[in-house]
Structure 1
């Protein structure tokens, strides 16, 4: 348990800076991911202070594509402190898992569908004045249902600006570091844009643009080389995508998009120009498990950094601590690591020429085979009919009539009616080989608020809303008390289920605050049995909390309660209510009673008898008494009587 609230369960991932566990918030009964920082950071006061500030800043980021930060803290123990961060638990995989599952690279439409929410999340951070500093596939999570989320805002900055590293150390993942991070350690929104451009390159080609013998040799390439166009590795990638990657990865920060929002706008424009519709982002079946971002791992000092091999990395890319070169001419700064790469670079150039020759040979053979197939009647082509604006069934019939087949992808659209074709690939009038497939994008119409069952978890409700391209919003001020829905579970949504909305419109999720508070009933003056019954019927667990004297309350009747009568108590479990009873004794009537009988009677009540008589004899009768009959006195009190 951390801070007697967060239960630490199974291990999810481990790295040099932190370890991530699946956990449970026992107060809210909510599954969470718990990132526990390494002991070398927990003992650093400057890191803890910076960590707390960055965690608070990250927690203010409310965006559907950002992994939510719920809490942060320091658990103090005799064996040392545990600095931890509590985050949203994402069920799914990382972008790294998805790339590997797809054979090393993603289709263009899928890569753009992943990059759009990544840039949306970074854009929200940039608007809030935050910089991620460590954008990479391991920090991009793919949730079940196709959600794409970015994790780990601010942690690299917390480590970099604390006393754990010196001014000459760079923290980051070398494959995605921007030139300015390498040369000066400075990072702003354009540094995140550069890293996002590298991630896009890797999704399209299956490898980052730079590899080398050491981490510093890779950093050297970032500073001195322009990122090559992705089409050099995957020729079918359009020129517009090459240009997009080029603009995002310019070595001069001033020539890049100024932030992720601008980069996202450029990406959306390119996608529109190329007619590439959004596609669903799948979770690999083999990776359908609980995950959180693989934690950024700070490697040992520079001289102990493991070699970065020539082959493209296939595992997680780790956050590194690396010596930053002194200021000055970059060629001189990196000359020591540049020289050993000369041989491999010469071999790579020779290899590229060999690949080019064989490519020409293969293309020539393909042309010959294609021509022969055409003359044999296998390459007959047909014209793609008019499809856009038609109902799906009509479009499918038109394709069948032309000897083509349709592959349908459905997506929401604010203006195109449900069931109508939005776009086709190839477009109307294009030539297509007979029997080939035409991709159709069919409208689902405007998104409609989904049906959310009462009692659904907040995470499940938010996922269902995102799945229909709407944006969930949890406003705690709108939460309500509810007698049957447990605290933290969903009561309803606003607008209600079935309401049509524009894409990305907000849907407020109303969450239960648990049962409404109940007032402690007024049981003053009641007998003990009646008071206990009344309290139990109100949902409380009564117990006797002592006795005291009250001249107005009969014995064994209620004087007060703890909490006090009228207090509002939330019925979480069965709250205990202490009941204070009166110990008062009611004075009996002794007039006309023989003295010996009166003594026995008052003794049974815990009282004493004081007899006043002129002539004491056996069989005396009581003629008067004080206190008067019916009075309430404390136990042990004396009753004064006059006898004759």
Structure 2
């Protein structure tokens, strides 16, 4: 009877005291590899969750060593979206060894229970769940850890709507325990990445794939793949692309489809590099779509449930045979399309046996038969001996080749230069494939990691992906005049963060307003990943004073204002006895006022409407009247002798005087 099915498992520790400190109060959940209890830390007087590993695993020293190492790694993750690990130990006083973890006790439910009640989550709610999930995974990836079993059962929703990720490190520790071999992999089949199925390899991009599948399920209410058996589902992960979620939920925008498809690409190189990169893309799309955070609801029936990091209460971590070219999904047991089921061990189909055909022959007489047998006895014995030796050799060679002869152990190349690592792999009959990645700490041209990892056994001639450091990112060369959007996109593509500080904007006569003048630090500067680079943006030409065009003619004034960057216009006419007609009296804004040349500011020009009085002396009154009428002036004649066309001998205003339009000129005539 397996640990998963043994009746009453877990009840034997209730009431016990682990290492004389942690009191075991009650069973919360049972999983495939552990039992989780509600407990009390009697030293600190606080409720805790106690996960006690099954004796099937804790009896293995290798597992205990790995489990302790992974527990310490998980405890280093101090992040609000990670279920905290407080302590780890082995109790040897209560009926054998009990390996245990002490964890944060979370009041709430699992994301699976939210899905069971809600069915399909709205896009804002799905983003509100995924955001803290990816944040927690980003912290783990930064610390060099890979979760490897992301699924709704391992995501907890607190009563306050908080989202936390559980079970960091457990899967990696379990993978080395008991009878697990290279032919068995761990994971939950509905969320396994293709590389987990085919090779068992896992890195940060493995978690990205599983998180992408979870996002698909949040948006559609079901995993992307279903089948009659666990193997058939795993087979689809390897051989089919995850479909766009809009096929099930048509109202989803294309940007969300694209995000899900990029996160779940079968080739790991096509996915975001890690959870931080996935989170960055999610934030960008959320901003573009205007998605606001919304609270994640806790099902009413679960609001008093105590939830902890466990694989119980939902689909357990599964063991299945890796998918190879020889694997064929066979319907050996029903498989629920709505979610993963229990453990499946899928044998590879054996080759068909050849049909033996009976050959008829004429049998000789007994005497003849005896003579023939005697003559051929020695020869047949020799032939059979030779045949047996040949067959034994062939079987031995084939066994060696099928067993270990065609497999090669991936050599250690991490820390070597790209050239040296490539030579080492080619010398081992492996093909290097180079992927470049920015890194703050590893020098450029140095191998950061390999996939498959060092020590993995792979077929001769297969490819090994080398992740080679490109060093720290450099500030790209952004040409003056580039738009702010293009400059920001270039910086993000270089793994840097653009900073927009309007107080740093400057005036520039040659760069249009709103375009980038330069960046700080300058192009070519090496910075840490995600460092900020400030954009210095043009405010357009510097402000200039309005030219003083008082007294200038209209044409002269308009020319001078246009040359200074203004758009002049006639704003009216006034009388000024000191300014000639059609000459400038004043401007609006006034002369020497400093004005920013945003666009092309307008300047109003006020012109003089003064009329210059002509010299009328010596002219006849009729002629004078005609001249004045042409200028819009009147004539008043004072004459001693009333006669037509008298000769003018004096006038007021005097010749050359400036008067308002419509004024009257008085003359004296004889």
Higher Cα radius of gyration = 2
Give TM-score, length-normalised by structure 1: 0.48
Give TM-score, length-normalised by structure 2: 0.47
